[in-house]
Amino acid sequence: MRIIHILSSNKFSGAERVAIQIIQYLGRQGVDAWYISVRGKIEERLKKEKISYYLAEKMNLDNIKKIVKKLKPDIIHAHDYRASIICAFSTNIPVLSHLHNNSPWIKKYGLYSWIYAASSVRYKKILLVSNAILKEYVFSKQITNKCRVIGNPVRIGEIVKKGKENVVEEEYDIIFVGRLTPSKNPILLLEVMYEIKKYDPGIRLCIVGTGELLEKSKETCRKLGLEKNVVWKGFVENPFPYMVRAKIFLLPSSWEGFGLAAVEALALGKPVVCRNVGGLNNIVNERCGFLCEGKEELVEACRKLLGDRELYKRMAEMALSRAEEMDNDRSYMEGLWEIYQEICMEH
């Protein structure tokens, strides 16, 4: 069996990490699995992980047709909306559409929502990281019978191990780990810090990650007078040692498909303060963190945790317990393998 995994992104982030984990699992099952995307920084990661890959100049119909003709896959596993749509209209090979996030356009009647609905006729299955995607999609009725919520593969032991790999000397009150993009809302992150600073002038925030909003975020940091309160680490191969040295994980996302970073923080015993969006309410509960509706609630939740030692200790302990409940790597991969076999039998 040969399965190709197609992503329109050329960077390494959540969906890309999941695709690589799946390919590694398939390799252990004797499956010939490939990673397909456009040229970019992802190539460094693929080489490091020793993944078979093919990188195109552009993600379009012609290139996908050429790749399919060359590799002759039995199944195409497309890991985002764009890749799914292109694959649906470029080949007769069975396509598995895997949606890792709930982009804002799925809530509206528009060109993108219409095109995905039209392309869904071609998908054998649609995999979702949370029920939130199906609930928010305006054409959910058209795709419900093909959808299966599978979450994300979580390896708690690996996260804890990586948290001990390096020693970080500095300590932080709050940490954010993720790409600096509109979905993660780093501007709100800094606005929350500005409000907390009014009560605690020495508050320290560590930001691990980079992205299209990096410069705007740094400009906002300067305007709010937070230069001495914020530490910028940029992209870090292993962010977990920094998470170990922080007290709270703050995630002010505007939208989230799943929220894997929240699970990783819980695995390291960090209470999570986040917006109540997407799949985060399936991860964070009142025992291990706070689900908030806006800036004021985010500020209040952080102040409570930083100001109440007993509350913090209790939530930190429950964070570890909640993470253990979500340790699902083996069942995730076995379930996905069953889906692949079903598709092959049907085809």
Distance of CA 7 to the CA centre of its chain: 14
**Given this model, what pLDDT does residue 347 score?**
64
- Please list the pLDDT of the chain residue by residue as tens digits (347 residues): 899 999 999 888 889 999 999 999 999 999 999 999 999 989 999 999 999 999 999 999 999 999 999 999 999 999 999 999 999 999 899 999 999 988 889 999 999 999 999 999 999 999 999 988 989 999 999 999 999 999 999 999 999 999 999 888 999 999 999 999 999 999 999 999 999 999 999 999 999 999 999 999 999 999 999 999 999 999 998 999 999 999 999 999 999 988 999 999 999 999 999 999 988 999 999 999 999 999 999 999 999 999 999 999 999 999 999 999 999 999 999 999 999 999 988 86
Q: Give the pairing type, strands 246-251 and 172-177.
A: parallel
Q: Which domains does the chain have, with CATH numbers?
A: 2-153+328-346 (3.40.50.2000), 156-325 (3.40.50.2000)
Quote the CA–CA distance of 291 and 293 in Å, as a whole number: 7
Q: How many CA atoms lie within 13 A of 6 on its CB side?
A: 29
Q: Global pTM?
A: 0.88
pLDDT in tens, 204-239: 999 999 999 999 999 999 999 999 999 999 999 899
**Given this model, what pLDDT does residue 97 score?**
97
Distance of CA 241 to the CA centre of its chain: 19
Range 48-83 burial, b when 16+ CB lie within 10 A, else e: eeebebbebeebeeebbeebbeebebbbbbbbbbbb
